[in-house]
């Protein structure tokens, strides 16, 4: 972990005097319609983030800055597409939040958004980046993870067989025991007991398993 107490203090000091209650409203417009990365996913990520910070000894609740970073982490997809959406989302976050947080906190938020994807291999800028990346990952819930992977093919308009094949391929490549998914410190600390079983189950997933889960068979 990072120097969490210090960074959290910076985030709290950085808040603008303007009310931040409307930040979710600001973010919501960027998620309709965005399919698998829409507001249901964002609300799930927020709920997950609230769980993750409960392990902190100090300030075991989300700061407004952390909440804003989670809300805006996929905000660039609607206007700029999925490719490199972490960067477009960081730009959107900077633009929308520039009058609500001081420059240091705004940079923290933008970097957290830019570093949130599982494929990111660099060093996190701050504890907030670790948190947003962790919150973006589904908890080790096999059925939910399969459904979300399948939904990508639906959003792309692919035929059924391609949706199923892509879901299996993506799940194993990303979440299997040898997958590229990065499980950050918050995620590993909170989910350690079930994470190993989840990854082993992903290794064994078949097209038939995906079909049964997404179609309720």
Taking only the tens place, the pLDDT of each residue in 35-93 is 667 888 999 999 999 999 999 998 999 999 999 999 999 999 999 888 899 999 999 99
Q: How many CB atoms lie under 10 A from the CB of residue 137? A: 21
The chain-wide mean pLDDT, for the chain, equals 89
pTM for the model stands at 0.73
Q: What is the CATH number of the domain that holds 66?
A: 1.10.3210.10
Q: Rounded to whole angstroms, how far apart are CA atoms 115 and 73?
A: 9
126 shares a domain with 25: yes
201 shares a domain with 102: no
60 shares a domain with 11: yes
pLDDT band at 217 (very low <50, low <70, confident <90, very high): low
Q: Is 179 left (phi over 0), alpha (psi -120 to 50) or beta?
A: beta
* Nearest residue to 175 via CA among 163, 164, 167: 167
User: What per-residue confidence (pLDDT) applies to 37?
Assistant: 74
149 shares a domain with 98: no
Q: What is the mean pLDDT of residues 11-17?
A: 42
> Quick check: 165 and 44 in contact, CB under 8 A?
no
108 shares a domain with 19: yes
User: What per-residue confidence (pLDDT) applies to 69?
Assistant: 98
56 shares a domain with 17: yes
Q: Could you tell me the residue range of the domain that residue 182 belongs to?
A: 142-214
């Amino acid at each position: 972990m990072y120097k969490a107490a210090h960074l959290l203090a910076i985030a709290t000091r950085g808040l603008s005097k303007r009310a931040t209650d409307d930040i979710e409203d600001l973010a919501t417009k960027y998620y309709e319609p965005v399919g698998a990365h829409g507001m249901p996913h964002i609300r799930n990520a927020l709920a997950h983030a609230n769980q993750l910070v409960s392990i902190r000894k100090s300030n075991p609740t989300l700061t407004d800055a952390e909440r804003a970073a989670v809300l805006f982490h996929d905000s660039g997809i609607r206007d700029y597409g999925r490719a490199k959406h972490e960067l477009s989302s960081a730009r959107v976050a900077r633009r929308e939040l520039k009058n609500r947080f001081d420059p240091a906190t705004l940079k923290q938020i933008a970097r957290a958004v830019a570093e949130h994807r599982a494929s990111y291999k660099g060093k996190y800028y701050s504890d907030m980046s670790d948190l947003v990346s962790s919150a973006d990952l589904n908890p080790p819930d096999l059925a939910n993870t399969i459904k979300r992977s399948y939904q990508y093919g639906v959003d792309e308009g692919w035929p059924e067989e391609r949706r199923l094949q892509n879901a299996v391929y993506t799940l194993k490549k990303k979440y299997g025991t040898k997958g590229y998914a990065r499980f950050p410190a918050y995620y590993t600390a909170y989910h350690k007991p079930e994470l190993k079983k989840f990854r082993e189950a992903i290794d064994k997933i078949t097209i038939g398993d995906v079909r049964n889960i997404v179609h309720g068979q």
